[in-house]
Structures are given as C-alpha cells and as structure tokens.
Amino acid sequence: MKAKWDLPEELKGMEILETLISPVNMDMGVMIVGEDYFEGAKQSIVRFYLITIKEDECYIDDELQAFAFPNFNSAKKFAEDAPTMSAIDLMLLMNGSLTNDINSNFVQ
C-alpha cells in the first residue's frame, strides 16, 4: 500500500518509500522511510518504523531498524526488495548476521 500520510515533524526531509499494513491487524504496519535518499548522496539510510493506524491517521510508534548504504542506488535496491524479503532474511539482516550478503546483494 502506498503511503498517503504526512511525516511527523521529526522526520521532515525524509521520504516515505513504502507503507506495509499487517494482514493480521489492519491497525498496525511498517513504514519504510528514506533519509538522504537521492542520487548523489554520500550515504543513504533506509529506516523502518512501526506504525499504528487509527481513523485514517498514521502514528509512528517506534523506529524498528535503520540500514545505512554507501550510495543511493544500493539503498534504493534494498528498499525495493525489502517488502518481499523473507522474515528470516530480514531478522538476520537486523541482527547483523548477513552483513556480507547485504554488501554483495545491495551495494552497487
């Protein structure tokens, strides 16, 4: 689902890349946000936030994880692939166990 919400003040300047709503609880989801997410950025960051949805309003509850990339293209590929990653792969990335794999799969 594409995001239709505004970012809170503390996230201004970042870009909403994707909003994923839980199929089990339609009031919860994950928002994927890009920081320094533009061509030519020296380092782009992809952030995952836990969100709650109430009465068509989106509230950010917590930052779940942030991933830093050496360039925009690597961050873009990761952000595009993230919604279809397996839960196991995502947990291993969050734990740092797939650091070499993230480099080989996403760093361009």
Cα–Cα distance list, 42 to 2, 26, 35, 74, 85 (Å): 27, 37, 11, 11, 26
Take residue 91 and report the two structure tokens written for it. Answer: 């947990």
Which of 8-12, 53-57, 85-89, 91-95 is predicted most confidently?
85-89
Which of 5-9, 77-81, 96-100 is predicted most confidently?
77-81
Instruction: List pLDDT tens digits, range 15-70.
Output: 999 999 999 999 999 999 999 999 999 999 999 999 999 887 888 999 999 999 99
Residue 100: pLDDT band by 50, 70, 90 thresholds?
low
Contacts of 66 (CB under 8 A, 6+ apart): 45, 46, 47, 48
Collapsing DSSP states into helix, strand and coil, what is residue 72? helix
28 CB-contact burial (10 Å; exposed 0-12 / middle 13-18 / buried 19+): middle
Look at residue 2 and tell me whether its pLDDT is greater than 80: no
Take residue 42 and report the two structure tokens written for it. Answer: 């020296």
Question: What pLDDT is stored for residue 29 in this prediction?
Answer: 94
Question: What pLDDT is stored for residue 45 in this prediction?
Answer: 96
